[in-house]
Amino acid sequence: MMQAKAPLFDAVFDSPVGRLGIVLEGDALRRLSFLDRRTGTRSAGNAAAGRVQQAILAYLAAPETLPAVPLAVAGTPFQQRVWAALQAIPAGQVLTYGELAAQLHSGARAVGNACRRNPTPLAVPCHRVVPSKGIGGFAGHSSGRLVAVKRRLLAREGVEIR
């Protein structure tokens, strides 16, 4: 039986919210993944990966502004609209799925699905969208390590959600 080949990251590095892996398309960020410690670190393979890594780390140190990195993300037109709206939510603020859906003349579930498929969390801050009660999920997970990451990201921005 063939094993699936591990994704090739342009860099894998430790951050205040855990180990991160980045994949670039040219100089643009295509994917950011939250990894566990089983994935070894990997130095930035080129100058562009080094710049993206440093921009992400700078954002995590001072989350007032999003990482200034070009994005190369593929998605449906609706997903692109949601991801653009996420980038407009200021640090330290949250919207509910319903509030964002109303802004986009859509449904909360559709917004949640677009958030779940966000390939570049942090650069597109889907952690700033929560349900009307509680913290909700993060990166396609409804509990566990990644929801704890969402809680830490919000806390770094001064937002506490019980």
- What residues contact residue 52 under an 8 Å CB cut-off, 6+ apart? 10, 11, 22, 24, 29, 44, 67, 69
What pLDDT is stored for residue 115 in this prediction? 94
- The dihedral region occupied by 48, where left means phi > 0, alpha psi between -120 and 50, and beta the remainder, is alpha
**Among 160, 140, 144, 162, which residue's Cα sits nearest to residue 152?**
160
> What's the burial of 152, exposed, middle or buried (CB within 10 Å: 0-12/13-18/19+)?
middle
User: Is 126 part of the annotated catalytic residue set?
Assistant: yes
Q: Are 29 and 72 in contact (CB under 8 A)?
A: yes
- The domain made up of 77-156 has a fold known as Arc Repressor Mutant, subunit A (1.10.10)
Tens digit of each residue's pLDDT (9 = 90 or more) over 7-39: 589 999 999 999 999 999 999 999 999 999 898
Buried b (16+ CB within 10 A) or exposed e, 77-112: eebebbbebbeebebeebbbbebbbeebebebeebb
Check: CB of residue 159 under 8 Å from CB of residue 63. no
Sign of CA dihedral 26, 31, 34, 40: negative
Predicted pLDDT at 141: 79
Which range among 1-15, 82-96, 134-148 shows the weakest confidence by mean pLDDT?
Answer: 1-15
Proportion of the chain above pLDDT 90, given as a percent = 77
Where do the structural domains in the chain lie, given as residue ranges?
Answer: 77-156
When mean pLDDT is compared across 37-46, 70-79, 87-96, 135-144, the lowest value belongs to 135-144
Confidence class for position 89, pLDDT limits 50, 70, 90:
very high
Average pLDDT estimate for 107-135: 94
**Selected catalytic residue, list 17, 126, 130, 153:** 126
> Which one is predicted more confidently, 140 or 9?
9
Alpha carbon distance 148, 79 (integer Å): 24
pTM value is 0.89
With a cut of 60, say whether residue 6 has pLDDT above it: no
